[in-house]
Amino acid sequence: MRKPSPAPLLIDEHAVLVEQIAARQEHVRAGLQAGDWPRTELRQLLDYLHYELLDQTVHEERLLFPLAGGCADTRVQELVAEHLALRRATEQLADAAAPRNEGRDVDQLTALLRDLRRLLERHVVREERVLATVTLDGVETRRQPTWSRSWYPLTEGPVLDLDALPAPFAPPAALQRLARLAPGETVEVRSSSGLAALRTLTTRRRAAEFTWVCLAEGPERWRARVTRRHAG
């Protein structure tokens, strides 16, 4: 039996990326319009670009592009060039948001946001057209482990509720969230089934980076305050 085209799955994934990036850009613009330098909003946007958008481009190049003709196909070459352009745009935005440039050039930052959005919107339309005939179960079903871009927003904010995530993937998604904490930043982690697995995973991989403070230890709800230590 012929496998269904991945186009609907890819379109859905692109829709999530475009929507989430647009929302974060609006938060940055709102800060600028209010006369404030949107330090937190810029960091949230850049985190999303690095952990979601650029991660997605890597998986497409590894999983989908070879099935669409690989680098021998000029259409795939154009998609790869656009991926590189997205990476450069993210780097330029990160440079404009760096502490040394904070508040210096609002017009440049606004232009970078606009250019990134236009580039992304053009790219997803072209990519969906090029990959429309590829028969595959989709990018996410081929990733190891399987991942969903819809989970990222569930891990943001000062509270991380593991119950909002599929149980098998809650620990790695939470670990990624902890990795995004800035030094001195804190998040409250909650679960109805305990936090031992996440704490063990954190201790095994990043024992020196985080401090844990137990806030509640069952039997119906476990809560802990996790803080990323300052370097040194």
| 100-126 pLDDT, tens digit each | 888 888 999 999 999 999 999 999 999
Judged against a pLDDT cut of 70, whether residue 8 lies above it is answered with: no
pLDDT of res. 172: 84
Confidence class for position 68, pLDDT limits 50, 70, 90: confident
pLDDT of res. 84: 97
Judged against a pLDDT cut of 60, whether residue 2 lies above it is answered with: no
Buried b (16+ CB within 10 A) or exposed e, 52-81: bbebbbebbbebbbeebeeeeeeebeebee
Calculate mean pLDDT across residues 35-56.
93
Judged against a pLDDT cut of 60, whether residue 144 lies above it is answered with: no
Contact between residue 68 and residue 75 where contact means Cβ atoms under 8 Å apart: yes
pLDDT of res. 138: 47
Structure-model confidence comparison of residues 116 and 204, the more confident one: 116
| 86-104 pLDDT, tens digit each | 999 999 999 999 988 888 8
Judged against a pLDDT cut of 90, whether residue 143 lies above it is answered with: no
118, with CB counted inside 10 A (0-12, 13-18, 19+), is: exposed
